Amino acid sequence: MTGSSSTLLWILLFVVMIVGMIIQKSLTSKFRKYSKIPLHDGLTGKEVAEKMLRESGITDVEVRPTRGMLTDFYNPGDRTINLSEGVYSSRSVAAAAVAAHETGHALQHHVGYSMLRLRTALVPVVTFSSNILSFVLLAGLLLVRVFPQLLLFGIILFAATTLFSFVTLPVEIDASRRALSWLERSGVTGPEDHKYAVSALRSAAYTYVIAAVGSLATLLYYISIYSGSRR
């Protein structure tokens, strides 16, 4: 890549970083705001997840509490929905949206959603890559003139994490779609509070979009350095 291309990549990375910070701040702000809005149906996050599981015919998934804020996740390995402190026992719109979203992943697992299977298959590769990625990239950048193959190896590892980011996008968007559809259909959210659930999950989706774009821009930057070293 030319010098102008590298400059454009730097600008893109900077823009992505700023936008990412804004989106993350917006998500945190919305979660705090919607955590104060009582849920129409009055259920806790745990009860929302359990109700969605029952109505979806899923009987082998356990709902558990976990520490932290916005640390909610579904573990396909042990088939558990792990809800953070601000979600598990809260009776707010935010808690319902997050709980239903994580249950959406359990539903994906139950029906064999292909993109979730692909993401799960990539986890060991990404875990391995993440453990050595920083070292390989740093060493590769320092030795790029004498041992460019090391940077190329780092680029391959980073490409795996970038692929994971893009595979994650449809998984997260589909989980939110399932969650919002069920929340409205089941009557857990009413006409007044459903729009807040939509807003919260939409903001969460934006964080995955910006993460994927940022990962791609960073990958292209490393590729530009490697290409320059080959001249």
Provide the whole-model pTM: 0.89
Question: Cβ neighbours of residue 122 under 8 Å, at least 6 residues apart?
Answer: 160, 163, 164, 167
Give the pLDDT of residue 4. Answer: 65
Cite the active site residues: 102
- Written as six digits, the tokens of 120 are 């799960």
> Which residue is it, tokens 């692929």?
163
- Written as six digits, the tokens of 188 are 């857990």
Give the pLDDT of residue 27. Answer: 87
Give the pLDDT of residue 17. Answer: 87
Which segments of the chain have a pLDDT < 50?
none
Using the Cα atoms of residue 195, residue 197, residue 203 and residue 209 in order, give the sign of their dihedral.
Answer: negative
Cα distance between residue 222 and residue 231, in whole Å: 15
Gyration radius (Cα) of the chain, Å: 20
Dihedral in degrees, nearest 10, Cα atoms 163, 168, 170, 171: 140
Using the Cα atoms of residue 62, residue 68, residue 70 and residue 75 in order, give the sign of their dihedral.
Answer: negative
> Which residue is it, tokens 């807040």?
196
Cα distance between residue 21 and residue 207, in whole Å: 9
- Written as six digits, the tokens of 106 are 């359990």
Q: Are strands 73-75 and 80-83 parallel, antiparallel or unpaired?
A: antiparallel
Give the pLDDT of residue 16. Answer: 86
Report domain extents, the chain. Answer: 3-38+93-229
Cα distance between residue 26 and residue 167, in whole Å: 24
Kindly write down the DSSP assignment for every residue of 124-155, as one continuous string: HHHHHHHHHHHHHHHHHHHTTTT-HHHHHHHH
CA-nearest of 45, 166, 149 to 94 is: 45
Give the pLDDT of residue 71. Answer: 92
For the chain, the residue count is: 231
Q: Which helix (H) or strand (E) holds 64?
A: strand 62-65
